[in-house]
Chain A
Amino acid sequence: MFMFGKNTVYWLAWVALTGGLVAFFLLRLFAENPEEDKTVFLPGHTSDGHYQIELACNACHTGPYADRDAMQQACEGCHGAALKEAKDDHPKSKFTDPRNADRIAVLDARYCVTCHVEHRPEITGAMGVTVPADVCYLCHADIAEDRPSHEGMAFDTCASAGCHNFHDNRALYEDFLVKHMDEAATDIEGRLLQANLRDIVEQLPDYPLDQHPLNPVDLAAQQWPAEVTVSEEITADWLASGHAASGVGCNGCHVATEDGEWLESPSHEVCASCHRGETDGFLAGRHGMRLDVEKIGQTLPAMQPASARLPMKSTAGAELSCQSCHGAHRYDTVAAPVEACLSCHDDEHSKAYEQSPHAALWLAEQQGEAEAGSGVSCASCHMPRFDRDYFWGTFTHNQVQHNQSANLRPNEKMIREVCLNCHGLPFTLDALADPQLIQNNFSTPPTVHVDSVDLARERAAPGT
């Protein structure tokens, strides 16, 4: 039997409020628009990099009741290839071996999230690591028995001293140190890779050479819809570009579909029809990761410099696409590697570049006073050219690595691909370990010394 009592009003208010709250959360959670702000569900912000996609919950959680294995699949979906490339020293297969069952009881290294917990900014350190720095000690406490030189080293110095990384030791293993231990600090004869697309394009399996033969095309042959206005600036930019020189006219980019529809702003996928590798790098890196629909599982708006965690200039452009660095129509390969970066990036390292020795070399090269490949731009280190092998080395494409994470952090990742082109290993290790040098963009000699080369030398040739 129901009676109106003095509490009825409160009960009704409670029901209304509860209903309202439930409706609010449900509408947010199951919104038609996948870009609906889900911030309210975030248990805490995610780490650098991941924060760009943290509202696309399913990118990592894959589904409402995803278990650890499903999430691991998501981790490997984006990071697996890079770990393989890095010759990961602690791959999952090492820990699924039953003989290491006692070890995974201590540190379950089968799962990325054991060391890289997300949504916990208060305990997240460099490289998104959320375990204490003594993690190596859990399995390698007895290292001094094997390496007496390590006797007495603090239990948290393994990775912090520039000697070891959990995943990537390609430039740190002992025989590599020994092989490079006597190198001079700088090799002024060192040269960086140069573009070779034109030389190998005929062999590239995925380049549409039949549509764009490598002959210059002129303006008279170009067509565009009547309602499109083409300024003189646009035609001049295009005529000066590599595109005009190699058979790519207006329709090469603006008409990309079978039905011949004119695209006002061709997307990165259009670029990918000739520059697949570069585009994949862009989508894997900080600039384009929000656009990787396949991996994220939904369409996000492009990254905006204003949303970056690094300091950016207030004059930085609105959002990131291929054109934001390369400039539509111009595709200037001289401006992109420095000017484009510095038009947004405003941290100390970036601001110090123009006064650095690297910049002086770059300027000399651009002014024709020094050999090709002798200058060092922002991209030389952060988006370097690398030999991409085709058919087991039949030919290589000196492709630009557009995924800046490939050479970013830990900065030892940069050693082989970048620094060793011109510098010796001992100098490189010291320089990369010196925070002051990173801040002043390598304008002064290193003041930090990493012992690893000395230790390797002592074991290779005692007493020398």
Chain B
Amino acid sequence: MADYPEFDGEALQQGREIWLDTCEGCHGIGVAGAPVAGDHKAWAPRIGQGKEVLYEHAIDGFFGPGGTMMPARGGNEQLSEHEVQLAVDYMVRLATDK
């Protein structure tokens, strides 16, 4: 399993925990068309749409143009909206970190 970096700040630490528990299953190696964490090229156009869009898609779920599906809250109904946002923040950081 890849060693995912830790970043400073409590929010990113929390986001990393949530991300590892719920998101990494698919975004770790790209299951079911999920963009792989840390793949700058795959993430650039997504991040370009703005964080609000990413939050919305992650919280409510989203059908991609190729028939792919991002399930609401990553399929983990236990997560609060805030927790999903923290995980998104962590993944965006992974995708923009040099």
Direct contact of A and B (CB under 8 A): no
